[in-house]
Amino acid sequence: MKILFINACVRTESRTLELAQYLLSGLDGEITKIDLEKEDILPLKEKTLEKREQLVRAQKFDDTFFHYAREFAEADEIVMAAPYWDLSFPSLLKIYLEAVTVSGVTFQYDAGVPKGMCHAKRLFYVTTAGGPIFADFGYSYVKTLAENFYGIGETICFKAENLDVEGADVAALIGKTKKEMELFCGL
């Protein structure tokens, strides 16, 4: 089993990363890690968008331009670690998802409707927040892409929130989320 771990945590002492590593320790398979802070992923601009469109039209999906998309499409399970920032996730993850969402690699259109081409059966989204998670546009965005574009059948969100609220028992809140992972995944 090929597990793709996408790390959008930028802090060395990340609580989101701690939870994601706990989850990964209980999954069986070969883990490929993408540390987005260390990757050289840039947002699409006019020139790069034009190049991408030319490559897609020519169906040159083996080009290095699409290596993130190919790697994503070939994974059997995916784990994303993304702290809750400004009702969403760090912009690095959006740029990565832009690189992954490629017609002809991770999805294709069938009569104008996207049809998934990814192998993954599950995508785990792991996040933490200092306060309450009022609305999670990050997870809902990832879930929509996974289920409606990539063809991933199940998305699961594990979260720990209110970690920086005065008087919070951080260890207990993190422990509660780890227990949820254990129950759900049989860790």
* Ordered alpha helix ranges (H), 26-125: 46-57, 67-74, 91-100
Q: pLDDT tens-digit profile of 151-164?
A: 999 999 999 999 99
pLDDT attached to residue 37: 95
Q: Quickly state the pLDDT bin for 87 (edges 50, 70, 90).
A: confident
Q: What is the distance of C-alpha 36 from the center of its chain?
A: 11
pLDDT attached to residue 12: 85
Mean pLDDT rounded to a whole number for the chain: 95
Please tell us whether the domain made up of 2-185 is placed in CATH 3.30.930.10: no
Q: Which of 159, 38, 24, 137 is nearest to 92 (CA)?
A: 38
